Amino acid sequence: DASYEAIFTNDVRNDGLATTLSMGQQTSRIKVGTFVVNVYLRTAYICAQATAFIAEVTSGRMVLGLGVSHPVVNSQLGIDMGTPLPTLRTYVTDVQNWLQRKGPEFLVSLRPLDVSVPIYVAALSSKAVEQAGAIADGIMPIFWPPSRVSQSRTWIQRGRSKAPERGAFEIALGLPTFAGDD
């Protein structure tokens, strides 16, 4: 009712995909999604299946934000981040393929997904933004000043030039908000 375009959640202290489903069931117009879910916490197949379900239940209002989280978070969970940028690239590509119903026939439904799901990635460095430009539909930076947003256009274009068939690209600047009884 407040005319916001979207509302997002993350994997901090909850399951971001389950929370997105709940938000989608409680609303009818606003886009819902993740800002962001940690790619190390679930396989690309499980992420894509949950995302497809949420997208269908919400009539295409789902936006999937993916990221590698932070070393301090992942190390406390026993996760070795390895090489984050190649890991993120592979994960995004795998999720996109599953959402397009590409994969072993026994793991995908024969019916194509009725709605498309934009995939955004958490990106802060110039290399991460450039990679996002090549593989994703948008980025989800946090705490960027306007000058950094302007600067990122060059990196996005560099990435987009490597994937000319990709469509529009968006920058989702989040406003972290915590809802509670107070």
pLDDT digits (tens, 9 = 90+) for 45-102: 999 999 999 999 999 999 999 999 999 999 999 999 999 999 999 999 999 999 988 8
Report the mean per-residue pLDDT for the chain: 91
- DSSP class per residue in the chain: ----SEEEE-STTS-HHHHHHHHHHT-SSSEEEES-EETTSS-HHHHHHHHHHHHHHTTT-EEEEEE---HHHHHHTT----SHHHHHHHHHHHHHHHHTT-S-TTTS-SSPPSS---EEE---SHHHHHHHHHH-SEE---S--HHHHHHHHHHHHHHHTT-TT----EE-----------
Span 20-25, average pLDDT: 97
Write down the pTM of the prediction: 0.92
